[in-house]
């Protein structure tokens, strides 16, 4: 009897979970479907046609329009900046976390406190000094400036998460490699880096989204179209194609696709990383 009740309860929970998951999936996919369908319409049929039902002539002309207006340049700049910042922030943060954990001096603890102190300083409060420094060193209106500033802003939270993760890597493994004569670089490359895949994926996706959607730093540190990124490009499109809703939808949809690809490619490690961090 208990077994039957247990199986019935398990099926009920599974059914409820499936229904809730299906409802959430519809909620998430509905805006994407709406944007995709709207981007394939012409401005004349967008107002009169049913926004949820494919009808009338559908065309990819709007995608050609936004690319011809500079979206390709904005997209490429955002890709370069995002992946550069992800790689730099992950490697620097993981290396700093490993060094902090390995260190036994007061300097190591002080280093962690100084790095984490960066979380208490919002970027909006120091954007003017950053602008002055970037202008003085001759990097204003360059992608290099955006990469350096965004990487630096991502390091505090990255180190905070990674220190907790690296600390739980068995000390015996590190000591065993040290006893065998392995250098710290060898330990980092062959032990710490492979074991840190889940936390790297989690922090990488978090940093990637923040860099991809950042509007303030590119707005202050760039001015030309050749160095603009997608958030600035979408703002320009809104003023340029304010009444052309399908063109705006095409630009927004294209700006979201790289983030979806990033999550899909790293979702397994991301879920493992969330589970590992939650257990700490």
Reported as a single tens digit per residue, the pLDDT across 146-177 is 999 999 999 999 998 899 888 888 888 888 88
Residue 240 covered by a domain: yes
**pLDDT at residue 279 above 50?**
no
Q: Is residue 193 part of a domain?
A: yes
Which of 5-9, 16-20, 113-117 shows the lowest per-residue confidence on average (mean pLDDT)? Answer: 5-9
Confidence of residue 135 (pLDDT cuts 50, 70, 90): very high
Work out the average pLDDT over 124-135.
Answer: 91
For the record, the structure tokens of 167 come out as 């600390």
Domain that holds residue 225: 61-278
Measuring CA to CA, which residue among 191, 187, 229 is closest to residue 210? 229
Q: Which of 35, 9, 31, 43 is nearest to 242 (CA)?
A: 43
Query: For residues 215 and 230, what is the distance between their CA atoms, to the nearest angstrom?
Result: 9
* Helix, strand, coil share of the chain (percent; to 5): 80, 0, 20
**How much of the chain, in percent, has pLDDT values that exceed 70?**
90
Please report whether residue 151 resides in a domain. Answer: yes
Q: Name the domain count of the chain.
A: 1
Is residue 21 one of the residues assigned to a domain? no
CA 3 to chain centre: 46
Per-residue confidence (pLDDT) for residue 221, from 0 to 100: 93
Average pLDDT value for the chain: 84
Selected residue with higher pLDDT from 252 and 5: 252
Does a structural domain hold residue 31? Answer: no
- pLDDT, mean of residues 110-133: 87
pLDDT bin (cut points 50, 70, 90) of residue 80 is: very high
Residue 137 CA, chain-centre distance (Å), reads 28
Tokens encoding 109:
């603890």
Residues 179-206 have a mean pLDDT of: 87
CATH of the domain at 274: 1.10.3720.10
Contacts of 174 (CB under 8 A, 6+ apart): 102, 187, 191
Rounded CA-CA distance 26/131 in Å is 43
pTM equals 0.82
| Residue 188 covered by a domain | yes
List Cα–Cα distances, 32 to 163, 237, 249, in angstroms.
37, 19, 10
Residue 85: name the closest of 203, 195, 184 by CA.
203
Give domain status of residue 87, yes or no.
yes
Whether 25 is in a domain gets the answer no
What is the DSSP secondary structure assignment for residue 140, as one 8-state letter? T
- Say yes or no to pLDDT of 217 above 90: yes
Query: Of 29-33, 127-131, 245-249, which range is least confident?
Result: 245-249
What pLDDT is stored for residue 278 in this prediction?
Answer: 46
SS (H, E, C) 145-165: HHHHHHHHHHHHHHHHHHHHH
47 in Cβ contact with 258 (< 8 Å) = no
CB distance 25 to 43 below 8 Å: no
Q: List, in order, residues 6 or more apart from 36 with CB less than 8 Å away.
A: 249, 253
H helices, E strands: number in the chain: 14, 0
Q: Under DSSP, is residue 54 helix (H, G, I), strand (E, B) or coil?
A: coil
Mean pLDDT of 225-253: 81
Percent of the chain with pLDDT strictly greater than 90: 24
């Amino acid at each position: 009897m208990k077994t039957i009740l247990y199986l019935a309860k398990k099926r009920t929970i599974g059914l409820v979970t499936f229904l809730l998951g299906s409802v959430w999936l519809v909620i998430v996919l509905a805006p994407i479907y709406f944007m995709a369908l709207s981007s394939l319409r012409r401005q004349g049929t967008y107002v009169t046609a049913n926004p949820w039902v494919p009808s009338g002539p559908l065309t990819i002309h709007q995608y050609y329009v936004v690319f011809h207006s500079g979206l390709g340049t904005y997209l490429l700049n955002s890709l370069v900046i995002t992946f550069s910042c992800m790689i730099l922030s992950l490697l620097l943060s993981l290396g700093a976390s490993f060094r902090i954990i390995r260190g036994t001096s007061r300097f190591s603890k002080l280093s962690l406190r100084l790095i984490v102190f960066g979380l208490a300083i919002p970027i909006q409060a120091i954007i003017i000094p950053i602008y002055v420094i970037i202008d003085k060193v001759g990097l204003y209106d360059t992608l290099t400036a955006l990469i350096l500033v965004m990487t630096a802003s991502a390091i505090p939270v990255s180190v905070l998460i990674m220190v907790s993760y690296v600390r739980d890597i068995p000390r015996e493994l590190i000591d065993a490699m040290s006893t065998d004569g392995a250098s710290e670089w060898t330990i980092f490359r062959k032990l710490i880096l492979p074991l840190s895949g889940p936390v790297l994926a989690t922090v990488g996706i978090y940093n990637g989204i923040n860099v991809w959607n950042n509007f303030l730093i590119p707005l202050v540190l760039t001015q030309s179209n050749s160095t603009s990124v997608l958030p600035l490009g979408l703002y320009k499109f809104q003023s340029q194609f304010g009444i052309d809703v399908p063109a705006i939808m095409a630009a927004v949809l294209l700006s979201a696709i790289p983030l979806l690809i990033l999550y899909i490619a790293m979702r397994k490690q991301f879920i493992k990383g969330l589970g590992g961090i939650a257990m700490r």
